[in-house]
Structure 1
Amino acid sequence: MANQPNNPLSSAALIQKTGEDQVISVPSAAGFIDSLEQRYQKLKEHAEAYPYVWASYIVVYGGFGLWTTYRWRKLRRTEDSVRKLQRRLRDLIEAEQPASSAKVVEKGSTSSVKPSK
């Protein structure tokens, strides 16, 4: 009895004792919303009581967020520049391949012309 919660809605299910323990119903969405409102009120009271603690949370986690954003954007810019360079290299290779294949065809045709003389 001492370990039972004060709020009956906080338990997973409401229990009615009638000879045997039976589950009546699971808490509805209203119970969930009430628990969220209670948690919000506790956090609000704590933030009002200890503003410097919450300010330090904002500074630390905000700093981590800014650093992560900076590194993410830098990674994306690096990936974009690598993609551009790869595309330029691919274009250069494609432009060079037809020219080199034409040279191979010319060399093959000139070698076949010489024995016919």
Structure 2
Amino acid sequence: MATEQTSNEGQQEKGNDNAVPNASLLTVGGFRNAVFEQYRKAKENAEAYPYVWGSYLIVYGGFGLWVAYRYKKLRNTEDRVRALQEKLRTLRQERESNVKSSVVKAAK
């Protein structure tokens, strides 16, 4: 039984040794090391599976281009609407000034 306890204790110590670096990754190594570690893992995965990452690039890159195109088209439409609103505003001001001047002339 004594040997079973020591082997269990040894396993618990190994488990704690594995848990300590993961738990203290942000505290001891800092945020920069954690980001670098994630970058390294992603880079290794991309090197191991280039076709998967290439398909992600094509799909999400195409989606990004489509969103950029639609955004540009929306902005152009907004600019045209603003220009038309400005024309209407100036026409309305001209009509109001004409109506006021005709009322003043009629009053004399």
Q: TM-score, normalised by structure 1?
A: 0.70
Q: Deviations over 1:21-56 (max 9, x none)?
A: xxxxx704x332222222111111111111010001
Which structure 1 residue ranges, 5 or more long, are not aligned? 15-25, 110-117
Q: Which residue number in structure 2 is paired with residue 89 of structure 1?
A: 88
The residue correspondences of 1:26-105 to structure 2 (distance < 5 A) are: 27-28=27-28, 30-105=29-104
Shift of 1:99: 0.9
| Count of residues in correspondence between the two structures | 96
Task: Note closer, same or farther for the CA distance 1:34–1:10 as it changes in structure 2 (3 Å cut).
Answer: same
Task: Note closer, same or farther for the CA distance 1:9–1:39 as it changes in structure 2 (3 Å cut).
Answer: same
Whichever residue aligns with residue 27 of structure 2, its letter is P
Say which structure is richer in helix: 2
Identity %: 45
Which structure 2 residue ranges, 5 or more long, are not aligned? 1-11
Two-structure CA RMSD over aligned residues (Å): 2.4
Task: Note closer, same or farther for the CA distance 1:5–1:58 as it changes in structure 2 (3 Å cut).
Answer: farther
Query: Which structure ranks higher in relative contact order (CA pairs < 8 Å, sequence separation ≥ 6)?
Result: 1
* Matching residue within 8, 32, 37 for 2:20: 8
Say which structure is richer in strand: 1
Task: Note closer, same or farther for the CA distance 1:39–1:7 as it changes in structure 2 (3 Å cut).
Answer: farther
Q: Residue 47 of structure 1 contacts residue 54 of structure 1 at CA under 8 Å; is this kept in 2?
A: yes
Choose 1 or 2 for highest CA Rg: 1
